[in-house]
């Protein structure tokens, strides 16, 4: 069994980006700049956005963090998004999800200029991804592709079972794994909460990508020998022994499943760190106008 080290892979990607940013600076070019809008004080969102800001500092990007209370009106938020769309100093920006219930998330995501949509959530970027055109890919699926590629995991002709159909991970992951490319070119089954007899599908899988947010969903009896298991789940579970009062648990029962796997991601330290690395990569592409040339 080989552990898929997302932290190490993320550090390698960020070092590559930092080297390119140093070259841009040396040649007098414009340094990439990422902005983030954070609404409210959700603990997970605050931590995630702060990590993005720290990553920008490490690799030499400019960064702007815009914070609002969760009482902000939808109109006020849309006005700020329009400002960022028109600001030539900002190459890409994200609106951290989830948003308060009184704000229409889809309306907000559609308001972001597709050329600055480094999260890859705008319908235009989603459509371009489906059509196989240059697009900003959602960071988590893009990170999983990097992990598969850098560990040279064979995907062509393999049966890949994706569990979860969110627009952020599951749905785009199923599309990307079926594309005629590497990583990809797999036969894909997309499962979800209404799938009858989930173990029937997972036992056939050469590659399992679990993105549900249900701790311990995938047990040892659901995985065949030699499978590759990618665990996207990160759920906070109470733990009195931790200073934070909680620990992160994945969708996979790691201790029981790992001995059966050829490759598996840990939680934490698997897919999570790659999400930030790929957001940085998208921002660099935006600064270089690589997608919308």
pLDDT by residue for the chain (293 residues), tens only, comes to: 999 999 999 999 999 999 999 999 999 999 999 999 999 998 888 988 999 999 999 999 999 999 999 999 999 999 999 999 999 999 999 999 999 999 999 999 999 999 999 999 999 999 999 999 999 999 999 999 999 999 999 999 999 999 999 999 999 999 999 999 999 999 999 999 999 999 999 999 999 999 999 999 999 999 999 999 999 998 888 888 888 888 889 999 999 999 999 999 999 999 999 999 999 999 999 999 999 97
Domain count, the chain: 2
Residue 48 placed within a domain: yes
Q: Which residue carries 């600055």 as its tokens?
A: 116
Residue 253 placed within a domain: yes
Pinpoint the alpha helices (H) of the chain.
6-26, 43-59, 74-86, 105-111, 123-131, 139-150, 170-178, 198-202, 254-257, 272-287
Q: 3-class SS at 94?
A: strand
One domain for residues 65 and 151: no
Residue 81 placed within a domain: yes
One domain for residues 150 and 221: yes
One domain for residues 151 and 228: yes
What are the residues facing 246 on neighbouring strands? 238
Rounded to 10°, the helix 43-59/6-26 angle is 50
Instruction: Supply the range of the domain harboring residue 147.
Output: 139-273
- The residues assigned a catalytic role are 52, 96, 119
In sequence order, which residues have a C-beta less than 8 Å from that of residue 143 and are 6 or more positions away? 6, 10, 271, 274, 275, 277, 278
Residue 124 placed within a domain: no
One domain for residues 88 and 160: no
Cis peptide before 183 (omega within 30 of 0): yes
């Amino acid at each position: 069994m080989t552990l898929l080290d997302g932290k190490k892979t993320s550090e390698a990607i960020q070092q590559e980006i930092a080297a390119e940013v140093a070259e841009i600076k040396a040649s007098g070019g414009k340094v990439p700049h990422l902005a983030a809008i954070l609404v409210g004080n959700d603990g997970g969102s605050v931590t995630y956005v702060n990590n993005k800001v720290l990553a920008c500092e490490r690799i030499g990007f400019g960064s702007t963090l815009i914070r609002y209370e969760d009482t902000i009106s939808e109109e006020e938020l849309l006005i700020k998004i329009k400002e960022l769309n028109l600001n030539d100093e900002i190459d890409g920006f994200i609106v951290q999800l989830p948003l308060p219930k009184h704000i229409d998330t889809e309306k907000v995501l559609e308001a972001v200029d597709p050329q600055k949509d480094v999260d890859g959530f705008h319908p235009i970027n989603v459509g371009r991804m489906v059509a196989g055109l240059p697009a900003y890919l959602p960071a988590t699926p893009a990170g999983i592709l990097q992990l598969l590629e850098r560990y040279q995991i064979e995907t062509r002709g393999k049966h890949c079972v994706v569990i979860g159909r969110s627009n952020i991970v599951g749905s785009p992951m199923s599309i990307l794994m079926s594309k005629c490319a590497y990583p990809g070119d797999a036969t894909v089954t997309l499962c979800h909460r209404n799938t009858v007899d989930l173990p029937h599908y997972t036992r056939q899988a050469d590659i399992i990508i679990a993105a549900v947010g249900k701790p311990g969903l995938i047990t040892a009896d659901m995985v065949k020998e030699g499978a590759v298991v990618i665990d996207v789940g990160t759920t906070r579970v109470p733990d009195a022994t931790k200073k934070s009062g909680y620990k992160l648990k994945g969708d996979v029962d790691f201790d029981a499943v790992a001995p059966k796997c050829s490759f598996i991601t840990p939680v934490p330290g698997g897919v999570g760190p790659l999400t930030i690395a790929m957001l940085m990569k998208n921002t660099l592409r935006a600064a270089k106008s690589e997608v919308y040339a």
